[in-house]
C-alpha cells in the first residue's frame, strides 16, 4: 500500500509519497515540493534531510547500530581486515581470496608516489598541519596522474592509487616535517604494517613490527571506514556532483574532516585531556565549563548528531585501548583521566538529558598515542580510514539514476531592492 503525507497550504492539499528504507526508516519524498507548491524546506545542518538513497552503511543512532553493507561493525572489527572492509564498502561484497590477492598486488604496484611530489612536501613550512598537506597533495595527484582512457580504467586505477598512495603520502608528510629521510614502502608488508614501517623506520633504528599494534591500527581504520552522510562524506558527494575528478572530491573531503567538530575532534580530545591534566586533573571543572552556556567550550569527543546512545565504535575502541595498553605494558595517565571524565559526564543530568555519550574520537587518540603517532597526525589517521567510505559513496553517486548536481536553496533575509549609492554620497 502506498503511503502519503498530506500538506495543506493556502487552502490546497498536496500529497507527498513516503519512501521506506530496508530497515524500515521512513522519509517524505519532497522532490516535487517546489514545483507543485512553490515552497522550499529550511533545515539548518540538514538535520532532517536525506540527501540520497544509499545501500552502503546503515546506522541507527537510537540503538547504537552501525553496519557496512549489512555486516555489523562488531563482526568486521573482530574478523576482517581494513583492506577487506574497504573492498566490501567499495564493491558491495566481501572479496574472495583470489580478489584479495589481486588487490594486494595492485596496492604494491601503486604504493609509490611520483618523486617530483617530494619537492612540494619539502616546501611546506615546517609547522604546516599534515591535514592541510594531505588535502593539497591528494588534489595534486590529478596533475601527476592525468586522466586515463576509459571511464572504467579511470575509476578502478584511481581508486587503487588513492587507497595505496594515501598512506605513503601521509607517512611522507610526517618524515619530511621531522627533517628525516622518506622511507619507501615494502612489498612484503601488509597495509597497516607498511604504514607503521614508513612512519617509524630510520637508518639508525629499523622499525620492528609489533603485531598487537598492527592489528590495533587495522581495527582503528575498519571502525572509521564509513559513516553514511556525515560532514566530510556529504562534502565528497556534493563536490563530486559537479562531476569533478575523484582526487579533487577526496581532497575536499579531507578538508571537511579537518574541523574539530568532525574528524579533528580526536586531536582536540588529547589537547583537552592535557589541559585537564595541567589543571591538576580537575575533570569536574571541565564538565562545569562544558555545561556553561556562556562558555563556548565543549567536552571534545562527546556528543553526536546521529548517535543518541553510546557510539558502537567508541565501545570497541575503548575495549581495544585497554587491551593494547595491557599487552604492551604501557601506562597512560590520559587514559585514566579519560575514564574518570567519562564517568563524571555520564552521571551528570546535563549529559544524560541531552544524550551526550563518548563518540569514536574520545578514546581513539589514546590508541594512536600508544602506536607513537604524534597528535597532529591523528586526523590524518582518520582520513586514511575514511577513504574507502568516501570512495564508495562517490562511486554510488556516480551510478545513481536519481543523480542531480548538488545545489541547495535558501531563504533570503537581506535587504529588498536598493539603489546603488555613488561613492561621494555615502
Binding site for ligand ACO (CB under 6 A): 45, 261-263, 265, 290, 298-305, 354, 356, 359-361
Residue 122: half-sphere exposure toward Cβ, Cα within 13 Å: 8
15 sits in which H/E element: strand 12-20
**Residue 271: active-site member:** no
Give CA torsion, residues 112, 115, 121, 123, to 10 deg.
180
Burial bucket for residue 242 (CB in 10 Å: 0-12, 13-18, 19+): exposed
User: Among residues 145 and 378, whose Cβ is nearest to ligand ACO?
Assistant: 378
Which of 304, 336, 349, 399 is labelled catalytic?
304
User: Among residues 103 and 317, whose Cβ is nearest to ligand ACO?
Assistant: 317
User: Among residues 262 and 323, whose Cβ is nearest to ligand ACO?
Assistant: 262
User: Among residues 213 and 299, whose Cβ is nearest to ligand ACO?
Assistant: 299
User: Among residues 133 and 265, whose Cβ is nearest to ligand ACO?
Assistant: 265
Helices (H), 258-377: 265-278, 283-291, 312-327, 333-346, 349-353, 360-371
**Residue 332: active-site member:** no
72 sits in which H/E element: strand 71-72
Which of 218, 226, 348, 361 is labelled catalytic?
361
Residue of closest CB approach to ligand ACO:
303
Instruction: Please state the closest distance from residue 266 (CB atom) to ligand ACO, in A.
Output: 8
Instruction: Please state the closest distance from residue 268 (CB atom) to ligand ACO, in A.
Output: 7
C-alpha cell at 6: 498530506
Instruction: Please state the closest distance from residue 353 (CB atom) to ligand ACO, in A.
Output: 9
Instruction: Please state the closest distance from residue 356 (CB atom) to ligand ACO, in A.
Output: 5
Give CA torsion, residues 331, 335, 339, 340, to 10 deg.
80
Query: Cα–Cα distance between 271 and 81 in angstroms, integer?
Result: 30
Instruction: Please state the closest distance from residue 227 (CB atom) to ligand ACO, in A.
Output: 7
The residues annotated as belonging to the active site are 304, 361
Amino acid at each position: 500500500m502506498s503511503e502519503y503525507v498530506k500538506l495543506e497550504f493556502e487552502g490546497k492539499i498536496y500529497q507527498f509519497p513516503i519512501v521506506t528504507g530496508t530497515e524500515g526508516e521512513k522519509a517524505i519524498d519532497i522532490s516535487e515540493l517546489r514545483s507543485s507548491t512553490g515552497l522550499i524546506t529550511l533545515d539548518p545542518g540538514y538535520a532532517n534531510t536525506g540527501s540520497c538513497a544509499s545501500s552502503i552503511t546503515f546506522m541507527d543512532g537510537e540503538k547504537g547500530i552501525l553496519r557496512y553493507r549489512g555486516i555489523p561493525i562488531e563482526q568486521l572489527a573482530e574478523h576482517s581486515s581494513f583492506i577487506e572492509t574497504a573492498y566490501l564498502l567499495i564493491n558491495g561484497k566481501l572479496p574472495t581470496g583470489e580478489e584479495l590477492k589481486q588487490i594486494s598486488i595492485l596496492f604494491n604496484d601503486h604504493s609509490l608516489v611520483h618523486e617530483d611530489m617530494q619537492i612540494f612536501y619539502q616546501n611546506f613550512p615546517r609547522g604546516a598541519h599534515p591535514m592541510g598537506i594531505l588535502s593539497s597533495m591528494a588534489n595534486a595527484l590529478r596533475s601527476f596522474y592525468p586522466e586515463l582512457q576509459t571511464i572504467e580504467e579511470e575509476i578502478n586505477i584511481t581508486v587503487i592509487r588513492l587507497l595505496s598512495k594515501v598512506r605513503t603520502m601521509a607517512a611522507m608528510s610526517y618524515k619530511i616535517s621531522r627533517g628525516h629521510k622518506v622511507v619507501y614502502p615494502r612489498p612484503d608488508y601488509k597495509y597497516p604494517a607498511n604504514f607503521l614501517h614508513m612512519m617509524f623506520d630510520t637508518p639508525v633504528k629499523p622499525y620492528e613490527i609489533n603485531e598487537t599494534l598492527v592489528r590495533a591500527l587495522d581495527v582503528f581504520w575498519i571502525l572509521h571506514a564509513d559513516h553514511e552522510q556525515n560532514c566530510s562524506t556529504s562534502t565528497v558527494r556534493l563536490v563530486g556532483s559537479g562531476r569533478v575528478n575523484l582526487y579533487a572530491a577526496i581532497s575536499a573531503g579531507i578538508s571537511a574532516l579537518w574541523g574539530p567538530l568532525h574528524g579533528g575532534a580526536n586531536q582536540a580530545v588529547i589537547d583537552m585531556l592535557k589541559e585537564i591534566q595541567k589543571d591538576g586533573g580537575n575533570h569536574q571543572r571541565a564538565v562545569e565549563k562544558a555545561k556553561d552556556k556562556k562558555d563556548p567550550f565543549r567536552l571534545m569527543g562527546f556528543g553526536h548528531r546521529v548517535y543518541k546512545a553510546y557510539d558502537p565504535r567508541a565501545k570497541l575502541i575503548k575495549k581495544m585501548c585497554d587491551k593494547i595498553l595491557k599487552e604492551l605494558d604501557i601506562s597512560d595517565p590520559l587514559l585514566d583521566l579519560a575514564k574518570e571524565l567519562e564517568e563524571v559526564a555520564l552521571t551528570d543530568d546535563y549529559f544524560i538529558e541531552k544524550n551526550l555519550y563518548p563518540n569514536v574520537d574520545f578514546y581513539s587518540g589514546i590508541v594512536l598515542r600508544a602506536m607513537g603517532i604524534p597528535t597532529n597526525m591523528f586526523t590524518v589517521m582518520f582520513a586514511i580510514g575514511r577513504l574507502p567510505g568516501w570512495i564508495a559513496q562517490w562511486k554510488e553517486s556516480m551510478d545513481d539514476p536519481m543523480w542531480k548536481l548538488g545545489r541547495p536553496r535558501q531563504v533570503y533575509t537581506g535587504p529588498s531592492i536598493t539603489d546603488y549609492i555613488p561613492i561621494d554620497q555615502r
